[in-house]
A and B are shown apart, each in its own frame.
Chain A
Amino acid sequence: MFSKDNKSEKFKDAETIIGASIKVKGNFQGQGNIIIEGALEGSLKTASDVFIGHQAKVVASIESKGAVINGEVRGNIKAKGYLSIGETAKIFGDIQYGEISIDKGASINGQLIMLSEEHKRNERTKEETETPSEK
């Protein structure tokens, strides 16, 4: 998971970084960690974690394992694991999460729905079947 405070750490781990002057349109999918500092319209999906920077403007649904949201998101968010919402975050949409933390000052316009234990268990089993452990 991204360390919220350690920028160099998250940059080193990321498979994709979208800078502040970049605009992405369409269905963006990945396997590794994704950092969005710019604009994104469409949908964002990854098997790993998503970091939305404080300057970012995202008009998209987001689906990931974990997520750190510090910017503006207009769309639904589904984080199967840990979701961290920072003080600069502005979210307009429903949020599904496994675990959550919300900083003082964050703005959320939507429903907060905790994923059921059964759902989390199913997701975990699915992940284990997709990535069998090395012998």
Chain B
Amino acid sequence: MHVYVYDDYLNKSKFNRTINRMEIRLTDLGLNGKILRLAGIKNIKAAIQNEIRIGAKTIVAVGNNQTVNKIIGAIIDDDIYGDFQKKTLLGIIPIGEDNSIATSFGIKNPEDACNILLARRVEKIDLGLAGSYYFLNEASIQSLGTRIDIGDYSIETMERGEIKIINLLKDKDEDIRSNPHDGLLDIVIKTKRKDHTYLNAKNFRISNPDEKLIVDGAVEINTPTEIGILRDRVNIIVGKDRLFE
């Protein structure tokens, strides 16, 4: 059974036409299922986990990065699965702005997303963890004044710029290799001096008293915080144009 989770902002009338077309397409493909509207739900995690307990096989985030971010924590929780229950799949139907996660998975638009759901190409990928927040793409923070502690050593940046902690590339033009199956997070530091720093790690601590860490462009969190990776933790339905092997 598919459960479609609609984000709050889709209530706006400008999305009506897109949603109608998407729903017709899903019905044509025989993929219709239950609709859960986040606008009326106080405890999103509990509502989604309840659907999983009663047999949802695929949870589809209809919205943007923030929608995926709201859902992901609910579906990876091992406690909700019975002994013989298969892990629920995550699908995405991108609508509106801010959809880098869908782009990474090769999902370009709502119509494309419906076809991808039908094809059901599944990839198991790593999931980043920043404090208690999960991320699929990346977490980022201003570089000046940020300290990263990795095992026996620490890294500090002397220039303004950006630190990205990447699990899954969101831009195919990015000049680094990142693999969401390797159990490692890529740390990329680019400063205004145009110098590049690149390294990878499994677990580390990041701190900057003046800046916040932005997770998947959706959530801002205070530092210091622990960053880690959960290997092969999410089963995602992806398109063939995904930005990873």
Contact = CB atoms under 8 A, between A and B. Distances in A.
Given A20-B195, A28-B153, 8 more contacts: A15-B200, A17-B198, A18-B197, A21-B161, A22-B155, A22-B157, A24-B153, A26-B154
Given A16-B198, A16-B199, A17-B199, A22 B152 contact: no
B90 interface: no
B14 interface: no
B156 interface: yes
B52 to A, nearest CB: 39
Contacts of B200: 15-16
B150 to A, nearest CB: 9
18 contacts: A16-B200, A17-B199, A19-B191, A19-B195, A20-B195, A21-B157, A21-B158, A21-B159, A21-B161, A21-B195, A23-B156, A24-B155, A26-B153, A26-B154, A27-B153, A28-B152, A28-B153, A42-B153
Give the interface residue-count category, chain B.
10 to 19
Interface in A33-58: 37-38, 42
A11 B155 CA distance: 20
Interface of B: 152-159, 161, 189, 191, 193, 195-200
Nearest to A26: B153
B102 to A, nearest CB: 29
A29 B158 contact: no
**Which 6 A-B residue pairs are closest in the complex by CB-CB distance?**
A26-B153, A19-B195, A21-B159, A19-B197, A27-B152, A20-B195
Interface of A: 11, 14-29, 37-38, 42
Contacts of B154: 24-26
A22 B187 CA distance: 13
A22 B196 CA distance: 9
A38 B198 CA distance: 12
Contacts of B195: 19-22, 37-38
Nearest to B160: A21
Nearest to B197: A19
Nearest to B196: A19
Contact of B191 (A21, A25, A27): A21
A114 to B, nearest CB: 30
A23 B193 CA distance: 14
Contacts of A19: 189, 191, 193, 195-197
A20 B189 CA distance: 11
B148 to A, nearest CB: 10
B197 A25 contact: no
A20 B193 contact: yes
